[in-house]
A and B are shown apart, each in its own frame.
Chain A
């Protein structure tokens, strides 16, 4: 049994899916609602006899529903087209809704007037030619996308990619000889290349010193250093009999990762090479020198400290030669002065 009062009681006190509560007011989201407010008189569900005015594409229609059709939702609403002229439209409403409740009649007319008003305004606004359409920003989405962009930027590792690309180009020789690079950076680059070549060249070349016997001092703490051949990557602990507590920083002269077994003599030689190479071409990126600068003073002390104890082993000479060979490939020749080891003064141009 359908009774409006019962329906209203259920909708009002219970649950209605069109009901929207704001702090002070309850609204009705039903599209046939006259006023938009959730009211006993305005509820299209709780009133068997009801009417609305709605606008579609600029044309106003009057929608009526009566009790007789209440069980047939498909043909519930009777739609009559209202005239374009507001005055005649109002008269039409009065005629159609004669003997209906005052509230409905009144609100229909008011709604019609309002619709006409906003239609006029819409037309005016279009003439003004307002191109911009205001779109609301969805903060949740904005926040999410921003964070994702940051992550993508980090994941892309642009700096390293650019560095690799430029180095590659340099190796290829696309730049020719036009650039002046900082010496240290260039050296680093060379070291990187050397490391690759060292693997190949170690067993190949025979030195002048092979076959010759050399008399060496006692190994005091040689275990750590002499045994490990390819210890470029590993940090070896410093000599225990050198100044106690004095920790020598990682030996510089190229990368920090480079082998620290290097002889002082070798170091000096390298410096000499660097020094001489300063004036000549040294093409390198500026990034790597930063590391070198920092480690140089430490190495300086280290070298001085070590000069007392260090003895030349078999291993380093090989490296000398490979380096020489390597260097020659890059069109830079260095003089080799092994005898002048200890006298060498380091010049550092920064």
Chain B
């Protein structure tokens, strides 16, 4: 499918406008869930902040081992007397009040560097996957009544200043069901994260990608689940959240047009990303089952060889005379002689 179809642009009232844009080549990039998952993993580590246990934790007692001969284990014990604590074990990961095994250090390798080419590949893959309605549905978005995927909207949306306008646009375009899904999914987080400023969890809704900096982010940012991105600075963590492909993306017209310039086409390299050419798939036509059953292939291929796998049955020559005769030709003579004797 190298022929690139035309994508209709819809206005903010969800009516098809006259303008149609040729599908950017990015949407033909190979979809690599394995790569996207890996890169997402790596990139998500980059926002981490160091945490560690205090260096003196569990070591702040002047405990010394009592040595042998005292009928106690040789672990260091607290000096002094007059309190419960005296004589108790200290300074071991097995001891109460001792340091932990392998105390956490801040010089753990928190961040990961990812090759630029790989990062770019992952993003193109994620964008391509967002153009496949099945994958978007499988990820969990409610797209039953959306007019078209990929969904491109006129630039009027970029001019929105009020959240009210944004909401009415989402409603008209039948995207509000996805936002409602977010509302319904708000729940408490399980675990200690509740008291660490991560109290609530909720699903993600649609992602809006715009082409020109404007106040669009302010119009959409208060709607739960909705994310807003500039097309020139796409974030894999938002386009493929959790490493899963197929986020529901709403493109503005200018953003959509820019995609060809940013990522290039198979014939033209990218203007904005130096030295970047769209990745090519290993298989031009990935429909494997169709290929092997196609006329050309079937005719070109020789007949399948039947493997003769009859197991050899071994009979007993003492019971089967013919076998005996085959093995020992003289057996026939013996048998005939025996018969003659009997008759007489």
Residues of A near any B CB (own CB < 8 A): 1-7, 9-11, 13-18, 45-46, 70-74, 76
Given the complex of chains A and B, what is the CA–CA distance between A16 and B5 in angstroms? 27
Contact of B137 among A1, A3, A5, A45 (CB under 8 A): A45
What residues on A are CB-neighbors of B288 within 8 Å?
5
Minimum Cβ distance to chain A for residue B102 (Å): 34
Pull 7 A–B residue pairs with CB atoms less than 8 Å apart, ordered by A.
A3-B286, A4-B287, A15-B138, A17-B140, A46-B134, A71-B131, A73-B133
Q: Is the CB of A17 within 8 A of B287?
A: no
What residues on A are CB-neighbors of B286 within 8 Å?
1, 3, 5-6
Given the complex of chains A and B, what is the CA–CA distance between A73 and B135 in angstroms? 12
Bin chain B's interface residue count: 20 to 34
Minimum Cβ distance to chain B for residue A5 (Å): 5
Q: Is B277 an interface residue (CB 8 A)?
A: no
Q: Is the CB of B287 within 8 A of A74?
A: no
Minimum Cβ distance to chain B for residue A99 (Å): 16
Minimum Cβ distance to chain B for residue A39 (Å): 14
Given the complex of chains A and B, what is the CA–CA distance between A45 and B139 in angstroms? 11
Known contacts A7-B132, A10-B135, A14-B244; decide if A74 and B147 are in contact (CB<8 Å): yes
Q: Is B294 an interface residue (CB 8 A)?
A: no
10 smallest A-B Cβ distances: which pairs?
A45-B134, A17-B140, A16-B138, A3-B286, A1-B28, A73-B143, A7-B134, A2-B132, A73-B146, A10-B33
Given the complex of chains A and B, what is the CA–CA distance between A3 and B27 in angstroms? 12
Q: Is the CB of B138 within 8 A of A73?
A: no
Minimum Cβ distance to chain A for residue B199 (Å): 22
Q: Is the CB of B138 within 8 A of A71?
A: no
**Chain B 205-245 residues near chain A, CB threshold 8 A:** 244-245
Please indicate which of the listed interface residues B131, B133, B134 has the most CB atoms of chain A within 10 Å of its own CB. B134
Q: Is the CB of B139 within 8 A of A17?
A: yes
Given the complex of chains A and B, what is the CA–CA distance between A331 and B133 in angstroms? 93
Q: Is the CB of B245 within 8 A of A10?
A: yes
Q: Is the CB of A74 within 8 A of B134?
A: no
Minimum Cβ distance to chain B for residue A212 (Å): 66
Given the complex of chains A and B, what is the CA–CA distance between A14 and B35 in angstroms? 13
Q: Is B250 an interface residue (CB 8 A)?
A: no
Minimum Cβ distance to chain A for residue B239 (Å): 15
Q: Is the CB of B287 within 8 A of A5?
A: yes
Minimum Cβ distance to chain A for residue B185 (Å): 12
Q: Is the CB of A14 within 8 A of B33?
A: yes
Q: Is the CB of B289 within 8 A of A73?
A: no
Minimum Cβ distance to chain A for residue B46 (Å): 23
